[in-house]
Amino acid sequence: MKSKRTVSFSQKATNVFFHILTSCNLKCRHCYINPEQHGENALPLSTIKTWIAAFVEKNKETNIIFLGGEPTLHPDLSLAVKKAKGLGYSSITIDTNGYLFNDILSKVNPEEVDYFSFSLDGATRKANDMIRGKGSYDRCIKGIRETISTGYKTSLIYTVTKTNINEINMMAPLLEDLGIDRFFIQVIGIRGKSAKIGQDKLQVSRSEWLSIIPDVAKKAAGTGTTVTYPKVFLSLEESFECAGVVAENYFIFPNGRVYRCPLCEDFPIHSMEFKDNKLVNTGRLNENDLFQLNIPEGCVMNRIIQPANLCYKSDGSPEYKIACCMLKEEIRAD
Ligand code: SF4
Ligand code: SF4
């Protein structure tokens, strides 16, 4: 039997999202990487090791996700993984577009890497490659098969936009055929290249989201995959929490910026940064000041950068609230 639950923010766990470089072999249309704000350098291994060590806390679960750009382009990714493992990180994930450079599968092992997490934005070659580039679908599928046959667990991330929402209901058979362990449905964030394209061309409406995504998630979970998708919308009665206030998530970029909220990443309002390899707080105003604002719409960053998500009554009050982008629904086998 499968049951759905809202995954509230854990105060017991720290999650570290570490972009070790920003370069990539692909040029996806909605890529959130913004080199002007995030840097264009690849971090040297010595720096990666120092920064990884800054987030480990004794007696607290700490998870790390290596990201880019394409993190497998970094020749020392395997050594960074080994360092994280040695420091006692509770779980280690590598996000990848599937090209798996630098022979990464043979340089780490399933005891060290908990999940390889692949991005695919269409159930068909045509839809995916229109967004992520020619040949990327076939390479990603090949990468997933190789990874599973080498003994690793896998996740698949599908970022929903107006362009590909019509294919998400075709994902269940593909997940089953591939043998994917976790399926993450994401909502497109209006940042990086997406900010240039515009919210109206990318983000699906509330009614589309609610009428399609929960059913697709249920169907996908029927294949034995654990499915996670963002809650996105809250009724006025549901309580709102900002992960920037109640949770420990850190989004690190190679220029040293450390954010607590992914929706802030297009702006120089990071609340922490590495200076001379030391993690320090930045001066005000920064994202922390925004997290404190209590507005009837819920998430303040959504109100600022994705206002088309909202609807108002004739008296000017919102019809519903927007949840924190990190609040998820999860369906898994009991
Ligand atoms: S694979 Fe990821 S980092 Fe590379 S272009 Fe696509 S979205 Fe951006
Ligand atoms: S998405 Fe909104 S609610 Fe979540 S951390 Fe950012 S500002 Fe806070």
- Concatenating the DSSP letter of every residue in 264-294 gives GTTSS--SEEEETTEEEEPPSSSHHHHHT--
* Least distant ligand from the CA of 96: 1
CA distances from 322 to 136, 233, 238, 295, 311 (A): 33, 5, 10, 11, 10
How many percent of the chain have pLDDT more than 70?
Answer: 99
What's residue 99's pLDDT?
98
pLDDT at 59: 85
pLDDT at 197: 82
Are the C-beta atoms of residues 89 and 56 closer than 8 Å to each other? yes
pLDDT at 314 (0 to 100): 97
Q: Is the pLDDT of residue 328 over 60?
A: yes
User: At 109, is the secondary structure helix, strand, or coil?
Assistant: coil
Band of residue 152 on the pLDDT scale cut at 50, 70, 90:
very high
Helices (H), 183-271: 193-197, 199-202, 206-221, 243-246
Nearest CA to ligand 1 atom 2: 69
Percent of the chain with pLDDT over 90: 89
Q: Which two tokens stand for residue 242?
A: 């900002």
Of 15-19, 43-47, 180-184, 307-311, least confident by mean pLDDT is 307-311
Is residue 89 over pLDDT 80? Answer: yes
Distance CA 263, CA 95 (A): 19
> What pairs with residue 328 in β-bridges?
7, 230
pLDDT digits (tens, 9 = 90+) for 170-198: 999 999 999 999 999 999 888 888 888 88
Compute the distance from residue 99 Cα to the ligand 2 centre, in Å: 32
Cα end-to-end span (Å), the chain: 6
The protein residue with its alpha carbon nearest to ligand 2, atom 2, reads: 299
Q: What is d(CA 219, CA 49) in angstroms, rounded to the nearest whole number?
A: 41
Q: Global pTM? A: 0.96
pLDDT band at 6 (very low <50, low <70, confident <90, very high): confident
Please give the pLDDT value at position 69: 95
Classified by CATH at the fold level, domain 2-333 comes out as TIM Barrel (3.20.20)
State residue 333's pLDDT score: 57
Task: Indicate the burial class of 30 (C-beta count within 10 angstroms; 0-12, 13-18, 19 or more).
Answer: buried
pLDDT over threshold 70, residue 334 = no
The neighbour count for residue 134, using CB atoms within 10 Å, is 9
Q: Which residue, by CA, sits nearest to atom 6 of ligand 2?
A: 261
Mean pLDDT of 261-276: 97
Q: How far is the CA of 322 from the centre of ligand 2 (A)?
A: 10
